[in-house]
Amino acid sequence: MRATLMYGAGDVRVEQVPDPVIKLPTDALVRVTASCICGSDLWPYGSMKPEDGPARMGHEFIGIIEDTGPEVTTVDRGDLVVAPFAISDNACQFCREGLHTSCAHPQAGFWDGEADEGGQAEAVRVPLADGTLVKLPVEADSALMPSLLTLSDVLGTGYHAAVAGGVNERTRVTVIGDGAVGLLAVLSAKRLGAEQIILMGRHQARTDLGREFGATDVVSARGEEGIEQARELTGGNGTHVVLECVGNMPAYEQALGVVRRGGVISRVGVPQYEDAPVGFGSLFRHNIRLAGGPAPVRAYIEELMPDILDGAIEPGKVFDASTDLDGVPAGYRDMADRKTLKVLINP
Amino acid sequence: MRATLMYGAGDVRVEQVPDPVIKLPTDALVRVTASCICGSDLWPYGSMKPEDGPARMGHEFIGIIEDTGPEVTTVDRGDLVVAPFAISDNACQFCREGLHTSCAHPQAGFWDGEADEGGQAEAVRVPLADGTLVKLPVEADSALMPSLLTLSDVLGTGYHAAVAGGVNERTRVTVIGDGAVGLLAVLSAKRLGAEQIILMGRHQARTDLGREFGATDVVSARGEEGIEQARELTGGNGTHVVLECVGNMPAYEQALGVVRRGGVISRVGVPQYEDAPVGFGSLFRHNIRLAGGPAPVRAYIEELMPDILDGAIEPGKVFDASTDLDGVPAGYRDMADRKTLKVLINP
């Protein structure tokens, strides 16, 4: 079959690879019908060393079950399923607490831990199929497909930012980042009833979509100027919650600048730093909390799916381009160049 | 009158200073009947440069109102009052949310912001007396005085650690640090019903008091060995909450080592660092949260005082030495040498 491999920074190729096969009795084999490129794929696209490659790419997909191992009981051949970006057994103590990204099962983990698998391909072997996969009650050609695909990562990640930040009807929220995760963090904050949602981002087509998703204000300035503008919108105090959906140090510093005393910075953008200011001069002085991490999107699928099925939310609007597998390398390039927001793949 | 001044590291003196006087209509003048030395006083005692001194010391005290400005309405001459370590108006939006250490009033702040005042003295001018001071329903010679004095800082600080960490009946807790704050964090976690309380500390007299306050386990080893022992006590997972009551980097690293996936590190020891690990390899990977800050002890006084008055808790047991003002320099030395846990001052 054909699959996407990254050979190094800026070097993505679609190549012939061995067909995946069932290896363990808990595996399922999924023929991919829709997948996509993630903002987090752009980090290695910008910096991956050739000696670390080639790596199979893709961790968000929907597909049809082609085969299952003998111990798989909750999904069956022919089922249309969505796969979260983390493999989990949905049964351990962490999964039962809704923290599927910290599943204790030895086979649990992220897709990049599966050297021979990736969602930007024709097919995928899915470990722990019962825990990982969720059946979709539609056909593979449903018009809802883009929105349902966001359940695999980007919607659940935006939602996790808002949940981990404790967003409710009494909170003012700043969202840092107008990427797909940031925009769906806006949608999530709106869904949880936030009183005010300030979206910080520079790309008007994106911030316009952010307004459609529920942003009450947009701040396009960055750095100190952006911080000042955001604070002005809140009477000077900053917002109770900041959803940091980028992951680099400028975004973290921006979050420190706009968070209210006693507030919380909720991070879902994978940090591109290890150390950061957390001492008296940053978090400690005013009891500012730090929350977030890899989103346990599996925990949110049952909660969010009905809103997609009944049209209450349309998170699939973050896809502004689509391609077949041949177009995936160009899809990476366009996303990296910010020509496109998020690329849907129909293999 | 006489007051305590720090001239530099290791150099504490008791000297004659001008008597405090009412300066603003919201001030009160308090004749100190009991005060104490704080663990946080030991940071400058270890490192203060002479050019930064001399500094008036002391931010925990009980005393009798001698005079009040014309706008003071809630306390009156002759009242016995306790002063929290932060001055606040108890009226602004932050105070109303229970975050008195972030009070928005221009006169609010910590005692070290009041250059001519300090609790380790015969008398103190207290700004924002209505907001800051709380009346005590006992006489100044009450046997409850040591415990009531802990309401000014150390009990409220331990309690804040537990509250900010979200301790409840379903949480296992690790307390890092067997200083007075750590021990009262144990007491606080017990009061909030924690399922398990592991106290990490090396001084047996202190950890014995920790057991009396509610610690279910004590780990005296440090570093990797201590982390391993604490994790073993939890079936390998670590604890949901870690109350970090020290404030240096080894304590932070210990907290990272013993916190459970999805758990929270709640800090109340003033961080002696600004940057710390918070990225994928430390907090982010498993959605570990960071909480805490300067305790809004004013917010907890009404809640905790009844437990002291009826004898349900005896936080005053953290005082294992007492002195008059003359003995304060020796009191600092003994605490720094860990000969004493916490020194009560009867000026």
d(CA A165, CA A149): 24
Interface check A288 vs B, CB under 8 A: yes
CATH number of the structural domain spanning residue A101: 3.90.180.10
Number of domains in chain B: 2
Task: Name residues 216-255 of chain A within 8 A of B (Cβ).
Answer: 237
Best residue of A43, A170, A287 to probe chain B, by most B CBs closer than 10 Å:
A287
Residues B14 and B134 in one domain: yes
Residues A137 and A6 in one domain: yes
Interface check B166 vs A, CB under 8 A: no
Best residue of B96, B284, B300 to probe chain A, by most A CBs closer than 10 Å:
B284
> Which residues on chain A are in Cβ contact (under 8 Å) with B296?
287
Residues B334 and B261 in one domain: no
Residues A20 and A119 in one domain: yes
Residues A310 and A286 in one domain: no
Residues B145 and B46 in one domain: yes
The domain of A230 spans 157-292
Integer CA distances (angstroms), A160 to A88, A185, A243, A255, B115, in order = 17, 8, 10, 17, 46
> Which residues on chain A are in Cβ contact (under 8 Å) with B274?
277-282
Contact between residue A284 and residue B270 where contact means Cβ atoms under 8 Å apart: yes
3-state secondary structure of A126: strand
Is pLDDT above 90 for B346?
A: yes
d(CA B240, CA A94): 12
d(CA A249, CA A99): 26
3-state secondary structure of A125: strand
Condensed to tens digits (0 to 9), the pLDDT of residues B217-244 reads 999 999 999 999 999 999 999 999 999 9
d(CA A130, CA A27): 8
Furthest-apart CA atoms within chain B: distance in Å:
61
Residues A17 and A134 in one domain: yes
Residue B187 confidence (pLDDT): 98
Residue type (1 letter), A293:
G
Helix or strand holding residue A345 (H, E): strand A343-345
The shortest C-alpha distance from B295 to chain A (Å) reads: 8
Q: Which two tokens stand for residue A268?
A: 């879902």
Could you report the predicted ipTM of this complex, rounded to two decimals? Answer: 0.96
CATH number of the structural domain spanning residue B245: 3.40.50.720
Contact between residue A183 and residue A203 where contact means Cβ atoms under 8 Å apart: no
Q: Which domain-ending residue is among B247, B265, B292?
A: B292
Residue A113 confidence (pLDDT): 82
pLDDT (tens digit, 0 to 9) for every residue of chain A, 347 residues total? 999 999 999 999 999 999 999 999 999 999 999 999 999 999 999 999 999 989 999 999 999 999 999 999 999 999 999 999 999 999 999 999 999 999 999 999 998 888 899 999 999 999 999 999 999 999 999 999 999 999 999 999 999 999 999 999 999 999 999 999 999 999 999 999 999 999 999 999 999 999 999 999 999 999 999 999 999 999 999 999 999 999 999 999 999 999 999 999 999 999 999 999 999 999 999 999 999 999 999 999 999 999 999 999 999 999 999 999 999 999 999 999 999 999 999 99
> Which residues on chain A are in Cβ contact (under 8 Å) with B109?
none
Residues A6 and A149 in one domain: yes
Q: Which domain-ending residue is among B247, B266, B292?
A: B292
Residues A6 and A148 in one domain: yes
Given its phi and psi angles, is residue A45 left (phi above 0), alpha (psi -120 to 50 degrees) or beta?
A: alpha
Contact A278 B279 (CB under 8 A): no
d(CA A310, CA A304): 11
Residues A135 and A165 in one domain: no
Residues A22 and A121 in one domain: yes
Q: Which domain-ending residue is among A276, A292, A308?
A: A292
Residues A149 and A172 in one domain: no
Condensed to tens digits (0 to 9), the pLDDT of residues B20-73 reads 999 999 999 999 999 999 999 999 999 999 999 899 999 999 999 999 999 999
At a CB cut-off of 8 Å and minimum separation 6, what does B98 contact? Answer: B296, B299
Q: DSSP secondary-structure letter at B284?
A: G
Residue in chain A nearest B269 by alpha carbon:
A284
The shortest C-alpha distance from B343 to chain A (Å) reads: 26
